[in-house]
Amino acid sequence: MNLSQAFNNFFSSLGTDVGLLISVIISVLAFTFVYFYLIKFLIKNNAVKLVVIFIITIILSAIIVVPNPEVNNLVILAVPFVLVFAFVILFSVEIKRMIWSHKSSKNDSAVSGGGVYDEEKVDKCIEEIIKAVQDMSKNDVGAIIVLASGNVPSQILDSGVRLESDISSELIESVFFPKTPLHDGAMIIDGAKIVAASCFLPLSQNINNIPKDLGTRHRAGIGVTETIDVVSIIVSEETGIISVAKAGKITRYADYNMLKKTLKDYYWQELSKERR
């Protein structure tokens, strides 16, 4: 039986078997829904090549499997599920961030926005943060500053001390000054407010992708960006090196220009939200 005859027989059977027709329609709708969001997710994460491979694999599977009635239905279902499972493993960090971000946005106890009202206030916040970070870098004072957007879960905030204070370099530096009560942990900044300090963050599990010379502070700064859509600024206590972590990736040796760009990108998003 050639391919065209096999497909003709398959579609002919749909017209005579109502149960088969209904199951096919349900299957098509279900897999269309899954594939649509999977492809959308891959495109969002710059994996266009994987989208092409995914589509080609599905088409080839349909051509090979569907026309052969002797093939068990479980085998037909196994092909897409194996592919979906493979993508879940490949993009586990991105999927975890997406789930956490979705949960956090609905959390009543999450960060409640800092009220960034205009460009002048934004510029002041940026300069205050940069001044504090560079001063701590010169003095080898360790620090983690998390730039949030109302999406930090309450369990992270509750692990520290709520401040709800205006941003100032003096306050940031005093919080992280060695041996002070709040120096051990992360500071959460949301908009124009320092929301909390001394917060404990989830550690990164991608140990193999983190340089050996980076310790717990850097693992925490990277780990929170793997699960939540935030940016971390990390100052090393041992070397004074400033790093920026985003989406599970870390960039070291951040200078004034990189810090300013990172903060401008963050506050630009905050201003856009306020203007909607």
Evaluate if pTM is beyond 0.75: no
Q: Which residues contact 145 (CB under 8 A, 6 or more apart)?
A: 129, 133, 172, 186, 187, 189, 232, 233, 234
- Measure the CA–CA gap between 127 and 81, rounded to whole angstroms: 50
Burial of 258 (0-12, 13-18, 19+ CB in 10 A): middle
- Measure the CA–CA gap between 256 and 259, rounded to whole angstroms: 5
Residues 265 and 212 in one domain: yes
pLDDT of residue 263: 95
Q: Do the beta carbons of residue 165 and residue 123 sit within 8 Å?
A: no
pLDDT of residue 231: 95
DSSP 8-state assignment for residue 202 = P
What residue numbers bound the domain in which 43 lies? Answer: 3-90
Read off φ and ψ for residue 166, nearest 5 degrees: -65, 150
pLDDT of residue 109: 37
Query: Is 96 within a domain?
Result: no
DSSP 8-state assignment for residue 209 = G
Query: Is 72 within a domain?
Result: yes
The residue out of 69, 90, 111 marking a domain boundary is: 90
C-alpha distances in Å from residue 256, one per residue of 74, 90, 178: 58, 34, 24
Query: Is 99 within a domain?
Result: no
pLDDT of residue 101: 53
Residue type, 226: E
Residues 199 and 68 in one domain: no
pLDDT of residue 127: 96
Burial of 223 (0-12, 13-18, 19+ CB in 10 A): buried
Residues 166 and 254 in one domain: yes
Kind of pairing, strands 161-166 and 193-199? antiparallel
Query: Is 30 within a domain?
Result: yes
Count the domains in the chain. 2
- The confidence band for 121, taking pLDDT boundaries of 50, 70 and 90, is confident
Mean pLDDT to the nearest integer, 169-179: 94
pLDDT of residue 110: 38
pLDDT of residue 169: 96
pLDDT of residue 132: 97
Question: Which tens digit of pLDDT belongs to each residue from 187-201?
Answer: 999 988 999 999 999
Instruction: State the CATH number of the domain containing residue 128.
Output: 3.40.1700.10
Residues 67 and 174 in one domain: no
- The confidence band for 70, taking pLDDT boundaries of 50, 70 and 90, is low
Mean pLDDT for all residues in the chain = 78
Q: Check whether 107 has a pLDDT greater than 50.
A: no
Q: Check whether 168 has a pLDDT greater than 90.
A: yes
Query: Is 105 within a domain?
Result: no
Q: Check whether 95 has a pLDDT greater than 90.
A: no
Q: Check whether 171 has a pLDDT greater than 80.
A: yes
Query: Is 113 within a domain?
Result: no
- The confidence band for 228, taking pLDDT boundaries of 50, 70 and 90, is confident
Residues 127 and 42 in one domain: no
Residues 40 and 126 in one domain: no
User: For 19-28, 122-131, 180-189, which range has the lowest pLDDT when averaged over its residues?
Assistant: 19-28
Q: Do the beta carbons of residue 250 and residue 206 sit within 8 Å?
A: no
Read off φ and ψ for residue 156, nearest 5 degrees: -75, -45
Q: Which residues contact 269 (CB under 8 A, 6 or more apart)?
A: 149
- The confidence band for 111, taking pLDDT boundaries of 50, 70 and 90, is very low
pLDDT of residue 219: 93
The distance in angstroms from the start CA to the end CA of the chain is: 61
Residues 63 and 131 in one domain: no
Residues 235 and 166 in one domain: yes
- CB atoms closer than 10 angstroms to residue 168: 16
Q: Do the beta carbons of residue 232 and residue 199 sit within 8 Å?
A: no
Angle between the N-to-C axes of helices 216-227 and 92-105, in degrees from 0 to 180, rounded to the nearest 10:
70
User: Over pLDDT 90: what percentage of the chain?
Assistant: 37
- The confidence band for 210, taking pLDDT boundaries of 50, 70 and 90, is confident
